[in-house]
Structure 1
Amino acid sequence: MLNNYYHATRRVGFAADSLAGDVTVDAAIIGGGITGVSAALHLAERGYSVALLEAQDIGWGASGRNGGQVLPGFGCSLHKLKHLTGAATTKQLWDMSLEAVDLLHTQIARFAIPADPVRGYLHAAIKPRQVRDLRQEQEELASLGAPVGRLLEGAELRARLNSPRYLAALEDNISGHIHPLNYTLGLAKAAQAAGAKLYAGAKVSNVEQGSTLTLQVGAHKVRAKYLLVAGGAYLNGLLEGLAGYIMPVGTYIMATEPRADVPGLIPGNEAVADLNFVLDYFRRSPDNRMLFGGRVSYSTLPPPSLGASMLRRAVRVFPQLKDAKVEFVWGGNVDITVNRAPHFGRLAPNILFTHGFSGHGVALTGLAGKLAAEAISGQAERFDVFTRIPHARFPGGRALRTPALLAATTWFRLRDML
């Protein structure tokens, strides 16, 4: 399976350190994705000594495998978020999600990261009820004072999205897309240059709590005053207090060969996603491939014949791709929460965590790292806005969570067909 287009087009030279002995720092971070490297950068710039610990390679997880779609907002709708937190908190959360997008573009420019940033996004509706959902989204955005895009239909839609599948699309000029692995590695390189120590192959096997935290990493110990846990879907039960709040779900992407017809499929070069529960999401690459994502696996095992399956989904959207060749196909796990809202909090006064971005984290994870750095340095007000979102564990206990999730999502899959 695993032939990742982003690895083949990596343009950032970065090498992590190897942990060769015991280390004592102000702050330790578990997880070398966007959240972790962003936190490391912001903490180092505030003068903290930092040790980031990644079990694999920096950017190995979702941060280096995702669809590259840069979005404000959250995995759940603004309507649902307002129900969970109230209008005032939803407005604060929305404004910070906009800040997350601005931060991403600022960091790309500041550190000259070759992440190929593009602005523009289309939320696409397949069914009449989804068109109504888009109109409700326009109303919610207007209530937040946010820019509200036009609802494209008919010939105007076809000029922007050359597919027979969609009835309408809501344009969004804030969102867009990037090369996520180059972005992650660019932030990591900046964090390293600011003085943070980033360790790869550094799997944490135990965390001993106290006023000084002790993390066991192989034969070595890392001692720290503060800890940020940002392992996401790959934390693998390390901290019992987090167990059950997130579920790892596999999602997959393919890339065609470069094709002369791809620019005409999305002439404005927007990123696109539909409104189905098991959604399709896609965009053009800079070298004119179609990057097409979708499918899910609640077992986290890749489906069989993945490349052919993904191409069939793409042809359903763009019949023009019926003779396309799949040159890359890859995937990985995202961490979802029960309510699809991000989950921030504390396991102890000096242990923070951020996870549960639910497939909506390319921009928000960078801000999460910044907010965690603020909180560690004694400015927790903005981090704590996210802790107001209520969360519950997936039902069923460790053995039954995945079967329970499969059962719960069957109705949504069926609804996609209606």
Structure 2
Amino acid sequence: MGAPGCTGIDGEVTGDARRTVLFVHPGAELFGSDRMLLESAIGLIATGTRVVVALPDRGLLDAALREAGAEVVVVPMLVLRKMLLTPRGLPILVRDGLRGLGAAWRLIGRVRPSAVYVSTIIIPQWPLVARLRKVPAISHVHEAEASGNRIVNRLLYLPHLASHRTLVNSRFSLETIRSVLPSLARRSTVIYNGVASPDAPAAPRETLDAPMRILYVGRLSPRKGPDLVIEAAARLRERGREVTVTLLGAVFSGYEWYEEQLRAQAVDAGVEVTFAGFHPEIWPFLADSDVLVVPSRVDEPFGNTAVEGVLARRPVVASDSSGLREAAGGYASSRLVPTDDADAVATAIEELADNWQDITRKTAESRAEALRRHAPAAYRSEIASAVLQA
């Protein structure tokens, strides 16, 4: 039999004499926070700790966690999405809240962890249930929208006061918390994301034989700005530059209209755009590109994608805002541009092209600095230490 309150469990959560940490995460994909959950779990497993991970469904993350040595269970849980905060979403919010509360209570009772690691702020019940169960909780905050509604932000952060410790992925995230809930910020610690990369990424092209290959990696969402990449490519074509664009990512369910809009935009602009869809392995796409563009319109708590571009030895053009400044700033091969400005993106790409040989010589130096800042081994060790000391 599976654990009470759990659904879709392949096997029973077994008894184990080792110290146990229960990880909880709101999804099973392999985007930024998902990859960080995996790295965090690997860090604890390396210490000999038994790691049990609760997810709301199956997916690529589930398989990766099992391969790393974690036990994975699927449980009902309340995951705060914007749709739930509307009149139409209220019945689902109540239903998921009740189911999630019972499942969390029973799973903690069955696993009997020494600590509960709560990944992201959108699963608010877990710190509260852990507190009631007298189990230390650690909240790891991966979200920060300083420009968002202060009351909403405060409500999202409030449940995490029940945690014994809070980890954040950037100074921007810490200051966003401080602006709405100073008491939570005072007990928060910044741990920059650890970002894995190939040991020997392909060097950039020595000469820019046309066309220049522009890559975007991430959700196809208006907030992330892939339309700005297409618009910037159109500006470059108008200036006589030959370019192609690859969009590596997919839309959320219900946003299919946006992909159709992007396809129409590409046709109207006469820009060659490849819609590559989602791929868990991004490095081949980076190897086949010349420049990575991270044009987010909204506040980003950090920017793993920008770091991955630097680690891949590709020049990066990113929005000069929020956590992207910390992720992409300070590298000789990266450029920060004003937010929501396709012309600025085009100008930055053009400047990189005009100084290509000088820029490409600097990519090895930039990679070395990114390795120093974001070594996965250091991240795993810091996370393990923080969790085991809770």
Q: Normalising by structure 2, what TM-score?
A: 0.23
Q: Which has the higher contact order (CA 8 A, sep 6+)?
A: 1
Tell me which protein shows more helix as a share of its residues: 2
Tell me which protein shows more strand as a share of its residues: 1
